[in-house]
Structure 1
Amino acid sequence: MPLEIVTEIISIIFVAILIDIILGEPPNRIHPVVMIGRIINFFTKMIKNASRYRKDKDNFEKVMGSILAIGLTATVSLVVYYVSMQSLFLLGTIFFVIVSATLLKTTFSIRAMDHHIKEILVELDRNNLDEARRNLSKIVSRDTQNLSEARIISACIECVAESFVDGILSPLFYYGLLSVPGSMMYRTINTLDSMIGYKDEYHNKVGWMSAKLDTIINAIPARLSPVFLIVSMMVSGQDWKNSIKICKRDYQNTESFNAGVPMSIMAGGLNIQLEKIDHYKLGDMKEQLTIQKCKTSIKITKIATLIFIFSFLIPIIMILNYFDWWTILFGI
């Protein structure tokens, strides 16, 4: 039975990737992450409304925001664990793999980022900067209205590098440790951070715990990411030695504790400079920012994803199986 379970756990990864490639994201009305977002929005508004009538407004928001972050993450993880267990014990192996793969797919995205970036690049290729800026505004928080073509490309490459950790590596990393409940735990925390983990006056207290949890939970995957990106750069003929140099020098330039790691690796490997105006600069402008550079960054992350799955994720799952971890987790 232990060997059968580990085969199923590994199979779930490839079925989930197949779903992502063929079908992409599910409709918003049934997307678990969208539903989680609605819950976050509902309770955040409730907390903010209640805090208006309290003298200890800041402490109240911080405490209630922490309860929201921890409570929602725990609840989602437990619900997903229960659904997984029921599909396994009541419906059998095939349904377990299908249900788990479907849930796992909603926690990561390879095709969606690729699609968004290519939409922007198509408009740049047509010299349609206004439409490129509008498309870019869908995936970044910065003001895109006056960005030049080079700044748009820079933002795209930054998104590709950061999403390799946030959108692929981290959810699959936690899947490798805790199966689907682990990947959904990660996605819940990441969604909390993306919605309320800001430092502005409205969010800085209610989203404090969400931001902290996201920083903590991404710390290990972000610092593992250079290994897979550098090997990918070796395979694809990029300047991997410079990527190491730039990462050591610039990874702390970003306000985010984690985002600077994959972005500085990408900047160094492509011999370009990535810049968010008034926030950070990563790398040196040895070569120009071009559409081809952006396409290369996508290629690098795709190869790195395969390297991660075969050289790290599957071996970790098998090692944990040796110690009967999956037997304990699934109660078999």
Structure 2
Amino acid sequence: MPLEPVIEIISILFIATLIDITIGEPPNRMHPVVMIGRIIKFFTKIIKNASRYRIGKETFEKVMGSILALGLTVMVGVVVYYVSTQSFYLLGTVFFVIVSSAILKTTFSIRAMDNHIREILVELDKNNLNNARTNLSKIVSRDTRNLSESRILSACIECVSESFVDGILSPLFYYGFLNIPGSMMYRTINTLDSMIAYKDDYHNKLGWMSAKLDTILNAIPARLSSVFMIASIMVCGQDWKNAIKIVKRDYQNTESFNAGIPMSIMAGGLNIQLEKIDHYKLGDMNEQITIQKCKTSLKITKIATLIFMISFLIPVIIILNYFNWWTILFGI
């Protein structure tokens, strides 16, 4: 049972987290997820153009969309695996750790969501509702033009809660089992979901497989998130008992199979009601939604991330090392 692989893999996690906290996102021209997004756009146009005059258009788009989702995900996994292994064999351990840390950082983001939300809160603090609505529109799909301050804050807290799963916990969860290829493959599917998995006529069939894969891959992390979020709510001195009550009662209120879990936990822990008009209500309006409540939600997700890493992710990496998984995976 060699110790070197586990030390390297935990070091990659630590360095990637440090990069995220101190530097943040790389420029778009160098961001792998942005490049993946461009590939998705390119093939989406090709598929839509090819299906325009085709008999059985819906079936064609469903099949081609499935090939795109599965093919791109596998391709990304293979490329990232090749790059990471070759960096080790050709340039040694130090370069392997540096390259892997840089790639891993692009699959999750703690700082970016924090920055987006705080920009909105600054505008609300100045009573600049229009600016707050504009900034909010960059991170949500709903119409923000006429939202009140409380609706804006609700949307912010919903984003913070949901992004804890698909922006932090899920990519790191798959890193814990499949290293960089697993984390990057998850991010590919999540990007496909965010770009083409809509229910409108244009995307409905094309993004069918992407939506299914995203739901499946987030199922376990979303449910695990409840443990770390409730523990964090306890640490922050919020109402953890109500969080458990609300998640049991309301987690199925959302159309999403997974999103209702972290959002309802946050609603219960903060003793507030989160609402997307004509879609769902989570929690009870025991207390008003305030800017401070939103800041507390950010704190909860950060502490939950730390608890997740220490109590789950690192132990998983160590246990897998005991069974020589990392040696088998990378052939080292």
For 2:55 and 2:2, the matched residues in 1 are separated by 56
For 2:213 and 2:51, the matched residues in 1 are separated by 23
**Matching residue of 2:44:** 44
**Matching residue of 2:86:** 86
- After TM superposition, the structure 1 = structure 2 runs for residues 52-131 of structure 1, keeping only pairs within 5 Å, are 52-131=52-131
- After TM superposition, the structure 1 = structure 2 runs for residues 147-166 of structure 1, keeping only pairs within 5 Å, are 147-166=147-166
Instruction: Report the alpha carbon displacement of residue 2 of structure 1 after superposing the two structures with TM.
Output: 2.7
For 2:259 and 2:211, the matched residues in 1 are separated by 13
For 2:241 and 2:324, the matched residues in 1 are separated by 40
For 1:295 and 1:251, the matched residues in 2 are separated by 23
Instruction: Report the alpha carbon displacement of residue 53 of structure 1 after superposing the two structures with TM.
Output: 1.9
Gaps of 5+ in 1: none
Match for 1:37: what amino acid? Answer: G
- After TM superposition, the structure 1 = structure 2 runs for residues 194-205 of structure 1, keeping only pairs within 5 Å, are 194-205=194-205
8 Å contact 1:186–1:217 — kept in the other structure?
yes
Q: TM-score if structure 1 supplies the norm length?
A: 0.99
For 1:78 and 1:69, the matched residues in 2 are separated by 14
**Matching residue of 1:207:** 207
Instruction: Report the alpha carbon displacement of residue 21 of structure 1 after superposing the two structures with TM.
Output: 1.2
CA RMSD, Structure 1 to Structure 2 (Å)? 0.6
* SS of residue in 2 equivalent to 1:275: strand
Instruction: Report the alpha carbon displacement of residue 214 of structure 1 after superposing the two structures with TM.
Output: 0.2
Instruction: Report the alpha carbon displacement of residue 70 of structure 1 after superposing the two structures with TM.
Output: 0.1
**Matching residue of 1:260:** 260
**Percent identity of equivalent pairs:** 82
Gaps of 5+ in 2: none
**Matching residue of 1:183:** 183
* SS of residue in 2 equivalent to 1:2: coil
For 1:192 and 1:39, the matched residues in 2 are separated by 10
* SS of residue in 2 equivalent to 1:172: helix
Match for 1:102: what amino acid? Answer: A
8 Å contact 1:12–1:100 — kept in the other structure?
yes
8 Å contact 1:2–1:326 — kept in the other structure?
no
For 1:317 and 1:5, the matched residues in 2 are separated by 10
Q: How many aligned residue pairs are there?
A: 332
CA displacement, residues 271-290 of structure 1 (integer Å, 9 cap, x when unaligned): 00000000000000000000
* SS of residue in 1 equivalent to 2:281: strand
**Matching residue of 1:219:** 219
Structure 1 window deviating more from structure 2 (17-26 vs 125-134): it is 17-26
Pair 1:326-2:329 in alignment: no
Q: TM-score if structure 2 supplies the norm length?
A: 0.99
For 1:203 and 1:270, the matched residues in 2 are separated by 36
CA displacement, residues 135-174 of structure 1 (integer Å, 9 cap, x when unaligned): 0000000000000000000000000000000100000000
For 1:145 and 1:139, the matched residues in 2 are separated by 14
For 2:263 and 2:228, the matched residues in 1 are separated by 13
Large movers: runs of 4+ above 2 Å: none
* SS of residue in 2 equivalent to 1:130: helix
Pair 1:22-2:22 in alignment: yes
**Matching residue of 2:192:** 192
**Matching residue of 2:232:** 232
**Matching residue of 1:293:** 293
Instruction: Report the alpha carbon displacement of residue 23 of structure 1 after superposing the two structures with TM.
Output: 1.2
Match for 2:219: what amino acid? Answer: A
Match for 2:58: what amino acid? Answer: D
CA displacement, residues 217-242 of structure 1 (integer Å, 9 cap, x when unaligned): 00000000000000001111000000
* SS of residue in 1 equivalent to 2:203: coil
**Matching residue of 1:33:** 33
- After TM superposition, the structure 1 = structure 2 runs for residues 273-292 of structure 1, keeping only pairs within 5 Å, are 273-292=273-292
